[in-house]
């Protein structure tokens, strides 16, 4: 799957440096658990990406729009989850198709930047 060029902005907002996070453990958002159209692999990968997002946010890794990007090698995710790299790649592709993750590849040989969609779901709908 090819990453979307930076000039083609996704139709959804991306998390920014001002997004608040205070958790000290992995968190699985309720809205994510409610998504019956996502595989468990995709849900777990999103949870780990969100954890890495918090580190990127803390370190100020953001583009010119203050949208936080993260770098998380697929192999590292696979090792953490105890699954194959191919399975992690499929989960990330699923998250991209569902517009929960946006991948930007600047050039060959440079790690992709992953951006998480800013999902805003009213609590009363969960």
Higher pLDDT, 87 or 1: 87
User: What is the pLDDT averaged over residues 12-32?
Assistant: 81
What are the angstrom distances between the C-alpha of 117 and each of 14, 15, 26, 36, 82?
5, 6, 18, 18, 26
Q: Where are the alpha helices (DSSP H) in 4-39?
A: 30-34
Check residue 66 and give its pLDDT.
96
Could you please state the CATH topology (level 3) that the domain comprising 31-119 is classified under. Answer: Arc Repressor Mutant, subunit A (1.10.10)
> Does residue 77 have a pLDDT over 90?
yes
List the chain domain ranges: 31-119
> Does residue 103 have a pLDDT over 80?
yes
Helix (H) or strand (E) segment spanning residue 49: helix 40-59
Q: Write down the pTM of the prediction.
A: 0.77
Higher pLDDT, 102 or 30: 102
Q: Determine how many CB atoms are found less than 10 A away from the CB of residue 72.
A: 21
pLDDT in tens, 27-52: 888 889 989 999 999 999 999 999 99
Looking at the DSSP bridge assignments, the partners of residue 14 are 117
Check residue 1 and give its pLDDT.
65
How large a percentage of the chain has pLDDT more than 90? 60
Check residue 40 and give its pLDDT.
96
> Does residue 121 have a pLDDT over 90?
no
Check residue 22 and give its pLDDT.
65
CA angle 89, 15, 76 (to 5 degrees): 30
User: Dihedrals φ, ψ of 104, to 5°?
Assistant: -120, 120
């Amino acid at each position: 799957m090819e990453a979307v060029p930076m000039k083609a902005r996704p139709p959804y907002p991306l998390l920014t440096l001002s997004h608040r996070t205070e958790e000290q453990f992995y968190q699985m958002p309720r809205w994510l658990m409610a998504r019956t159209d996502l595989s468990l692999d995709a849900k777990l990968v999103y949870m780990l990406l969100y954890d890495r997002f918090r580190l990127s946010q803390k370190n100020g890794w953001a583009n010119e729009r203050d949208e936080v990007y993260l770098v998380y090698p697929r192999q590292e995710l696979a090792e953490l989850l105890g699954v194959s790299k191919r399975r992690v790649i499929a989960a990330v592709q699923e998250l991209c198709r569902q517009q929960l993750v946006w991948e930007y590849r600047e050039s060959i040989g440079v790690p992709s930047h992953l951006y998480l969609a800013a999902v805003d779901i009213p609590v009363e709908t969960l």
